Structure 1
Amino acid sequence: MLKKFREWFAMNRAALNKAEGQSWPTTLANRVHLSTAVMRLEDDQAFQWFVATDEDIPDIVRIQELSYNGSAPWNKKALEHEINHNTRALYLIVRDQERPLAFIGAWFVEEEAHITNIAVVPAERNKGIALRLMKEMMQLAQKEDMVKVSLEVRVSNVAAQHLYRKLGFKDGKVKKEYYAGDHEDALEMSLLLRKRDSYEPH
């Protein structure tokens, strides 16, 4: 997953530099507000969710370890940079009391919200947590005037693809041998939130 982030970063470096050079009132993470204070699922379960801070990094690492057979593609150092220094990054974390359950990360750059990672611990899957996280990130992207939301997903991850299509994402190209380690292909998917502003020439 870190490989896909690096590739996306390289493709959008110019746009990112432009965005970083602009004068924003505050960082993205400090500026946004969640739609509700509590995440409520269809079965009436309720969990706490927050915009992640530096204090949440160990728990985000732990969620990854539980989700990816003991590995954390986004390690502590990478997450520290994301949360403490990347003003265009946004991470949300879900908890049951103090127990971390899930998180989602994204970059908002040049009218595009790119989902960098989303994970739910195995014991809490199939409850609608990932769906709520995606919907919230999409709403925040709209509030920030993003034009589209994009992501990559393993070609074998049929369940995730089904979730994204349910939200309106469309299939894009397949990136061959995209993932580090097993070299599995990745499917690009994207959702258009609105049409880009167009200006008629005078």
Structure 2
Amino acid sequence: MDVGSVVNTTGSGSTTTATKNAQDTQDRFLKLLVAQMQNQDPMNPMDNAQVTTQMAQIQTVSGISTLDTSLKALSSQMAQTQALQSASLIGRDVTIEGNRLKFGTDTATGVYQLDGAADRVKLEVLSPAGSVIDTVELGAQSKGMQEFSWPMSKAGGNASLNYRITATSGTAAVTSTTYSQDKVEAINISGSKALLQLSTLGTIDYSKIVTID
């Protein structure tokens, strides 16, 4: 089935429902308004300003109801579009916030970002339990995204290692953010969200992606 036809059909159905609901609301209001005018006090009848105000109120309520339905239909269409875009990511590497090392053939790699220039950056490789396996001085680094590699011969057979970055400029600490890289294996559409199934990091929300390689 053509995706475009699904989207159009959904939008059309929602619009028709919204129009019908708005019309029903207006019909009920008009009946009440007519009944009110028929039973009003002849000595104190409603003036034009009152009638105009009530008409404006019902138009506002009807408009809000229609807008709410239209926004829901638009959200559904955007979710379908996101799902199609996500499908193109299968087999590609993505970067998300995290601190898991990415294992290659001979080396493990990691990515981090510095909020400012640092004259000393220290890398600590951590076991799954959190103990320090190795410490490496990465030297001075500039502000922005940085990459490093670490020899897997030091892994001691561990297949899932984390890392920690400590950066300083003089005696002041420099804020750093660590990232994890992994390959997209599959796409899972759950409700209105597109979820990515990564090779080692599990399932993440599409919105968590920082970069696509």
TM-score by length of 1: 0.22
Structure with the greater relative contact order (CA < 8 A, sep ≥ 6): 1 or 2? 2
Which one has the bigger strand percentage?
Answer: 2
Structure with higher Rg: it is: 2
